[in-house]
Amino acid sequence: MELIKVGDKTYYLKNNTNIGIYKIDEENVYIIDSGNDKDAGKKIIKIIENEGWHIKGIINTHSNADHIGGNKVIEERTNCSIYASDIEMSFIKNPILEPTMLYGGYPFKDLKNKFLYAKPSNVLNIKDNLPEGLEYFPLKGHFLDMIGLKTSDEIYFLGDALFSEETINKYHLFFIYDVKEYLNTLDYLSNLNGKLYIASHCEATSDISNLIKINKDKILEISNKIYNLCNDKTFEEILKEIFAEYQLEMNLNQYVLVGSTIKSYLAYLCDENKISYKFEDNKMIWIKI
């Protein structure tokens, strides 16, 4: 992890999942997300303490395991408070909900891995609990109730509202819970006016316009591909063809993450009255309208 100063009070730790830091005074900081596991949490504590700071609080943009994995160890070692939005609080308190939701049933033990299943931690509602100098705003779509943070230095932390061009070119599909809300969030981001934007899995940038376009174009591309595949096919058949189209390799985590995302695209297309479904031989079949 590399500590980078980007404002008078704003820093971030450059990492696989970027970690925001906001100084509320000379001794105390709030961090934004906590990494993917206890080792990430320990590294965050060490870097913060080496600067002579104390972690006063953690603000989770959302409850995915790679954003809350360090919560528990940081909470235990610093006695900090943790804050999140309404629905995300439930997942942070009860992280079994993430693999349960993704799988659509009781998650067997192989699904209880650190990428999908974090340790539980105590959490408070972020509403009316932010320190002076921080603002939060909704960034729905990627997960149920994700938020972003703006600091007094005009720095925006965007959680997983945007993915890098490299990630998109490599994997093509990134997890989306609600496609329509995700597209709305991209439109919202295009109207922000800040000095620097830091998404969790992207390089920090002063201009996100091209990144917004890349993300939006890929969503529309995948939406169109799935639409064209809805010619009397089951979900599993559509999933298989999408993996083949993008030369992706199936594994358990990919199955539940990409599978859940494909279902979200199907729900979006269905609600937009572009596709429908029927039941045939006790199978659910997707069809174009």
Average pLDDT over residues 262-286: 97
Structural domains in the chain, CATH included, are 2-207 (3.60.15.10), 221-288 (1.10.10)
CA distance readout (Å), 183 to 12, 162, 189, 199, 228: 27, 11, 10, 16, 20
Q: What is the pTM of this model?
A: 0.94
pLDDT at residue 16, rounded to an integer? 87
Cβ(163)–Cβ(210) under 8 Å?
no
The 10s digit of each residue's pLDDT in 195-227 is 999 999 999 999 999 999 999 999 999 999 999
Summarised one tens digit per residue, pLDDT across range 16-59 is 899 999 999 999 999 999 998 999 999 999 999 999 999 999 99
CB 56 within 8 A of CB 21: no
- Cα dist. 266→9, 78, 271, 288 in Å? 43, 44, 9, 11
d(CA 224, CA 208): 24
Running DSSP on this structure, what letter comes out for residue 195?
S
Write the DSSP symbol of residue 45.
H
Q: Where are the beta strands (DSSP E) in the chain?
A: 2-5, 10-14, 19-23, 28-32, 54-59, 81-84, 124-125, 134-138, 147-151, 155-157, 196-198, 231-233, 275-280, 283-288
Can you say whether residue 277 is alpha, beta or left, with left for phi > 0 and alpha for psi between -120 and 50 degrees? Answer: beta
pLDDT in tens, 56-80: 999 999 999 999 999 999 999 999 9
Flag whether pLDDT at 123 surpasses 90: yes
Radius of gyration over every alpha carbon of the chain, rounded to an integer in angstroms: 20
Average pLDDT, rounded, for the chain: 96
Per-residue tokens: 137: 């705003």
pLDDT digits (tens, 9 = 90+) for 139-184: 999 999 999 999 999 999 999 999 999 999 999 999 999 999 999 9
234-269 burial code (b ≥16 CB/10 A, e <16)? ebeebbeebbeeeeeeeeeeeebbbbbbbebbbebb
User: Distance between CA atoms of 48 and 42, rounded to whole angstroms?
Assistant: 10
CA-wise closest residue to 169 among 228, 217, 223, 207: 217
pLDDT over 90 (residue 1): no
Residues 225, 86: Cα–Cα separation, whole Å: 34
pLDDT (0 to 100) of residue 261: 97
